[in-house]
Amino acid sequence: MSTPTVDRYAVIGHPIGHSKSPTIHAAFAEATGQRLEYTAIDSPPGAFAATVDRFRQEGGRGVNVTVPFKLEACAYATDVSAAARAAGAANALKFDGERVFAENFDGSGLVRDIRDNLGHRLEGLRVLLLGAGGATRGAVLPLLQENPARLFVANRTVDKAMALVADFHAAGANTAVLQAGGYNDLGRDDTFDIVINATSASLTAEALPLPATALQAVGLAYDMVYGKGLTPFLLQAQAAGVRHLADGIGMLVEQAADAFAWWRGVRPATHDLIRRLSTPLV
């Protein structure tokens, strides 16, 4: 008797050895009764397209994409979703013959974690988003869809933040809600309910030049980086009296669940897995 074919998926990045995606998707497959194989693929810089081509030729059905290939993933696709187009980057691809569909679930994963897991509704709140790179681009549209009272993008390089926001304004984003500036533009009267660090500063244990007043009324400080304990940003928030601190492990699991549902048609539960993978914030 022949062995049934197993659908193949993977995460592609460089480096990739640290990725939790194989663990996450194996847990999802077991929990939902899906028969699949999920591996990690380290692609040399400059070889993303060739790596994906080879995986497709070998029968691959879809991939998650992590740094530094999210921009290339968007360019590789034949069909790009509104979320991926707005971000200019994709973190998931799905293959159907000659067609390659691109999605970006980073922002939806962030919103699900903040709203559903951490219990902070976003509607009517003032949100400060730190950074103006790809992570921020992926977060802006899903955050705006939650109808915050204000979404302010702050970055060291003010022109980059202004350009990012101008792109979303040109695409029809609410100009009254979405604003941009530098860290120095955050005055004493600029208060926020939620602050999200979408910079890479926590990966290098770097503190952000964020005025303490920007954190004075915050109910949740969220760092997209995960597994680093109390990052410099979270320490800043803690020192300012913010009581609810969170890292990005929930975002990681939620975006993976969105990708899994996109591929397989069933969305796995996430709460227990987030709890199992969480690192204490100490």
Catalytic positions, please? 70
| Residue 254: strand pairing partners | none
Torsion of CA 83, 88, 89, 95, to 10 degrees: 70
Can you read off the two tokens belonging to residue 160?
A: 């980059």
First to last CA, the chain: 54
Bridge partners of residue 150, in order along the sequence? 126
Radius of gyration of the chain (CA): 19
User: Using an 8 Å Cβ cutoff, are 158 and 227 in contact?
Assistant: no
3-state secondary structure of 80: strand
Query: What six digits make up the tokens of 207?
Result: 């503190």
**Strands ordered across the beta sheet of 150-154:** 178-181, 150-154, 126-130, 194-197, 220-223, 244-246
What is the DSSP annotation of 214-238?
GGTT-SEEEES--SSSS-HHHHHHH
